[in-house]
Structure 1
Amino acid sequence: MAIILSVDAMGGDHGVNITIPACLRFLSESFDLKLILVGDRDAIYSQVGDRLSQYSDRIEVIHTTQVVGMDEAPQSAMRSKKDSSMRVAINQVQTGKAHGVVSAGNTGALMATARYVLRTMDGIDRPAIAKLMPTMKGETCMLDLGANVECTPEHLLQFGVMGAQLMRGVVGKSTPTVGILNIGSEDIKGNETVKKAAELLKNSNLNFYGNVEGNDIFKGIVDVVVTDGFTGNVSLKTAEGIAKMIAFSLKEEFSRNIFSKLIALASLPVLKRIKKRVDPSKYNGAVLLGLNGLVIKSHGGADVDGFYYALKQAHHEVEVGVIGLLREYLEQNKGMLEKDEELLEFKDLSSL
């Protein structure tokens, strides 16, 4: 069976200059793939060029007249740009024409539009942004990474459920371990939201490890790290900043003098292996979990390699049936995710 992905060709900082070359590269490697390229027809054709005939049976172009700006307000984009490349690309999943959508566009607009068009699954109050990250032991999934700044304990429980099913499908972990990000490993640490969420996770049928600290994330102590979107986004951006600083420092020191340059030359094979292991392009795609359809968010500033890996992630998640695994789990565990009004003392934020 062919896997069909719709692509917001206009999204991101560079639009078709990045998205289309990445799509063509992935098409050349994945023979079971079909792509629906959504955006300005002329701009898309200018990038596809004479290769359109080569993939005529595997590419469909849908022309749209609007583009969502990277700094555009989410609600404005959702309401006033119904013919945007982002909205129409998501519509392909809603109608069943595509198995998933990939966009490098405005994150807030993508989340708002996808949530409006696809709706959340039964048992999930809010979608979360989840991302696989490299660790000392392989990969770990962290969520939420920015979609939900304020969360109730139940939201954090739902994030644990979604992250566990993602790791089951994508990485093949039968019983992935789930930890909650805290300021200490002891049960008494943390605010009331985290403490109550830990209690919910502990009483669930998930493989709950307990509290994990920020310096545990990249040790690979757990397979899933659960946190609110504010803390998760700060943690992610901090990690990205440290990685850039280390790369800058290495380059600066290795180019300091002739001896440093000789050492760099001798170290090149090791440096290349390290880069391959933690290459941020390989971990570019983040999934918006909890929706009735697969939505992959690529970094807005991604290069061709980065967008290629976002497409590859979408293809793999369709292949292993991540959405089906999550839906099946939610169906089988309805009672576990029902709100405990005595435990929760937070207002319902699901309408925000």
Structure 2
Amino acid sequence: MSIHHQIIALDVMGGDFGPEVVIPAAALALDDMSGKISYIFFGDENRIKPLLGKYKVLEGISEIHHTSGIVTNDEKPSVAIRRKDTSLRLAIEAVKEGRAQSIVSAGNTGALMATAKLVLRCLPGIKRPALASVLPTRQGDTVMLDLGANLVCDAQMLVQFAVLGSVYARVVKGIDTPRVGILNVGSEDMKGPDLVREAASILTNIVFPGDYYGFVEGDDLAEGLVDVVVTDGFTGNIALKVAEGVSKLTSHYMKEAFLSSLPAKMGAVLAGCALKKVKKRMDPRYYNGGMFLGLDGICVKSHGGMDVYGVSRAILVAAHLVEQGYNSEVAHEIALVMNQQSNGIEPEGVIA
């Protein structure tokens, strides 16, 4: 089921730059979704109105919901969830109330996650939502989850993450039968903790939207062996941060090398087109937009330091999830998996 028109709730006050980036990003997103989306901007009306006037493309499709409260970047989630007057909270409640179909925020990650879980709750059958993102690989893009929402997981949660990731790869990425791998310390069946081996056994014995590939190791992530990588939030967050660090280190070494001498600088000029292609392929702004999958409502987190293009990509992530009816597909597939398990499918070969 696809949605032809949708309303996106934007937490305008979130992130490092607030309305000065979020509003032009909303305008930029219309280049891909013109006529399909409109906005409710949650934040300080005195800062939003002058900026809206600069973008005629937003006329007639924008509504301002003035809010007096702002969740700061260093505010504790336990404090943020008790405040009901913030732009973040009210934007999420707009989704709960049906006024909007998705919420996008560049604000405090912990506060967004905690508030969204409190207000939206999980889809029926889902134990906990997972934070997912798309990563570049040698063979295309891979969706990886969980990236930090659940530091401790059990086997059933990993199985559900596999369903969440598979549905995303199928309905948004257009992959009919996504390959799903579980991140582990080795590819052999006997390796890894019990919860990982139990999840692997369940995925081997049930029908779900993907095709279970097996275990993948850390150095397989960049190879693109699978379309979906499943892991717990503790491991996933570390893996993501390591990948980000290696990317920054590689960029640093390349700049250092090309600026090291006159011949090197000339080489950089000659290789300019190729270097631009590499930069574009690995541009973190293109992959911006962490998805809280499994919630009863679409919620997307933009990196707080992103520029206009980066935030526009996060808006498009939310728009595509809604457009392709992601949550309806998840609810259907989770119900099928639960039905199989209730009919006696148990993991095999796992020592208790």
Which category of TM-score, normalised to the shorter sequence, fits these structures?
A: over 0.9
Going from structure 1 to structure 2, the CA distance change for 1:172 and 1:327 (only over 3 Å counts) comes to: same
Structure 1, unmatched stretches of 5+, are 344-352
Following TM superposition, by how much is the alpha carbon of 1:193 offset from its aligned partner in structure 2, in angstroms?
Answer: 1.7
Cα shift at 1:16: 1.5
Partner of 2:286, secondary structure, is helix
Once residues 87 and 342 of structure 2 are traced to their aligned partners in structure 1, the CA distance between those partners, rounded to angstroms, is 37
Q: What residue in structure 2 maps to residue 8 of structure 1? A: 11
Distance 2:119 2:341 in 1: 23
Matched, 1:30 2:42: no
Q: CA deviation at 1:101?
A: 1.0
For 1:161-212, what per-residue CA distance to the aligned partner results, in whole angstroms no more than 9, with x for missing partners?
1100110111111111111000000011111221112112222213111100
- Are 1:129 and 1:286, in contact at CA under 8 Å, matched by a contact in 2? yes
Distance 1:162 1:338 in 2: 19
Alignment of 1:125-274 (within 5 A): 125-206=127-208, 207-274=211-278
2:285 aligned counterpart, secondary structure: helix
CA distance in structure 1 between the partners assigned to 2:342 and 2:63 by the alignment = 42
Deviations 1:187-244 (A, max 9, x none): 1111122111211222221311110000111111011100000100000010001001
Kept in 2, the 8 Å contact 1:20–1:48? The answer is yes
2-structure distance, mates of 1:194, 1:54: 49
Question: Shift in Å at residue 24 of structure 1?
Answer: 2.1
Letter in 1 for 2:326: V
RMSD: 1.8
Larger mean Cα displacement after TM superposition, 297-306 or 210-219: 297-306
- Judge which range, 178-187 or 319-328, deviates more: 319-328
Query: Unpaired runs of 5+ in structure 2?
Result: 348-352
Change (3 A) 1:236 1:254: same
Q: In the alignment, which residue of structure 2 is the partner of 1:83?
A: 85
Which residue does 1:70 correspond to in 2? Answer: 73
Distance 1:101 1:199 in 2: 36
Paired amino acid for 2:199 = A
Distance 2:121 2:49 in 1: 32
Per-residue displacement from partner, 1:112-157 (whole Å, max 9, x unpaired)?
A: 1111111101110000001111111111110000000000111111
- 1:248: Cα distance to partner? 1.1
What pairs with 1:278-317 in structure 2 (closer than 5 Å)?
A: 278-317=282-321
Q: 1:2 Cα shift?
A: 2.3
CA distance in 1, matches of 2:124, 2:108: 26
Match of 1:348 in 2: none
Shift of 1:76: 1.2
1:90-109 to 2 correspondence within 5 Å?
Answer: 90-109=92-111
* Residues 65-111 of structure 1: per-residue CA shift (max 9 Å, x gap): 111111211121011x1111111111111111111111111111111
> Are 1:119 and 2:124 matched, yes or no?
no
Q: Please state how far the C-alpha of 1:246 moved relative to its aligned partner.
A: 0.7
Task: Quote the Cα distance in structure 1 between the aligned partners of 2:265 and 2:341.
Answer: 58
Pick from 57, 64, 67: which aligns with 1:61? 64
